[in-house]
Amino acid sequence: MEYISAKLSDYEFDRISGLVYSLCGISLGSGKKELVTARLAKRLNELKLQSYDAYLKYLSGDESGYELLQLIDVITTNVTSFFREMHHFDYIRERILPEYRIKSEKIRVWSAGCSSGEEPYSMAVLLFEEIGNLMLRDVKILATDISTNILTKAKEGVYDKQLVNGVPKMLLNKYFDAFTDRDEYGRTLYNFKVKSDIRSVVRFARLNLMEDWPMKGPFKIIFCRNVMIYFDKKTQEKLVGKYHALLETGGHLFIGHSENLSSISHSFKYVQPGVYLKC
Instruction: Give the dihedral sign, CA 54/149/185/169.
Output: positive
For the chain, the C-alpha Rg in angstroms (whole number) is: 20
DSSP string, 194-251: E-HHHHHTEEEEE--TTS-------EEEEEETT-GGGB-HHHHHHHHHHHHHHEEEEE
* Residues taking part in catalysis: 39, 145
Between CA 10 and CA 30 the distance in angstroms is: 9
Chain-centroid distance, C-alpha 213: 16
CB 91 within 8 A of CB 275: yes
- List Cα–Cα distances, 3 to 41, 44, 119, 120, 140, in angstroms: 9, 9, 36, 38, 45
Between CA 165 and CA 168 the distance in angstroms is: 8
